[in-house]
Amino acid sequence: MAGTLLRLAAAGWELHYFNLSCGNGGSLEMDGETAARVRLEEAREGAARLGARFYPPVARDLEIVYSVDLLRKVAAVVREVNPSVVLTHALQDYMEDHMETARLAVTAAFAKHVPNFASDPPVPGAPGDVAVYHAMPHGGCSPLREKVEPDFYIDISGVMERKRHALEAHQSQQSWLDASQGMSSYVQSMMETGKELGRHSGRFGAAEAWRRHLHLGLSRTEIDPLADFI
């Protein structure tokens, strides 16, 4: 989603970057604590390359579960930021961490202005409408191989090199993705996905694709802040 973030930044939006998981499980060479430490620095650098404020992770790999304790932590960050837009994972994706992250993000956005829900650490409820958007699942399909169609595409042709530069900060993922998912180059895979989505759009040289979450409980009307970028 870095291309969409960069488009938003160019239009004057503030960017905020929050990884729920620390990445401790994503290495065959490093132990978990070392991997988490390396991933943390890479994530900070990736956020810096996007010009985004960074928020540290609150869970470990394969331990992101939809629980009240974790929801309180995610809600605290959402309330601190008080976003107008939340970009998150697909509700259906190839792994549970991604899907549970999406669910937590949606509920935290819903709870943003619910003062009687206690966050951890305590942050007062934040008023204001919010629009939630879900990225495409990896591979473009659900875990049951059902094709997922986006609602719309965002043109990222003009920011692809900056997106590439941000992704290249995550160097430790290279060997892990090659061994676990057959991605010989995660950067090249990203570039090819962007071009493929651009072809599917019928309009753009490179694109990111999105689905808009139902507005009920999140905004008073069907706001669509990304509409200006379509």
pLDDT at 176: 61
pLDDT at 172: 85
Q: Which of 192, 190, 194 is nearest to 170 (CA)?
A: 190
On whether the CB atoms of residues 139 and 146 are closer than 8 A, the answer is no
Q: How far apart are CA 1 and CA 87, in angstroms?
A: 8
Tens-digit pLDDT profile for residues 49-103: 999 999 999 999 999 999 999 999 999 999 999 999 999 999 999 999 999 999 9
Q: How far apart are CA 28 and CA 22, in angstroms?
A: 16
Residues with pLDDT less than 50, the chain: none
Is the C-alpha dihedral spanning 169, 174, 176, 181 positive or negative? positive
- The whole model's pTM is what? 0.94
Q: Which of 216, 175, 217, 213 is nearest to 225 (CA)?
A: 213
Question: What domains are there in the chain, each with its CATH number?
Answer: 2-229 (3.40.50.10320)
Phi, psi at 132, each rounded to 5°: -110, 135
pLDDT at 179: 58
pLDDT at 141: 96
pLDDT at 164: 94
pLDDT at 175: 65
Q: How far apart are CA 17 and CA 25, in angstroms?
A: 20
Strands 207-212 and 152-155 turn out to be antiparallel
Cβ atoms < 10 Å from Cβ of 114:
14
pLDDT at 10: 97
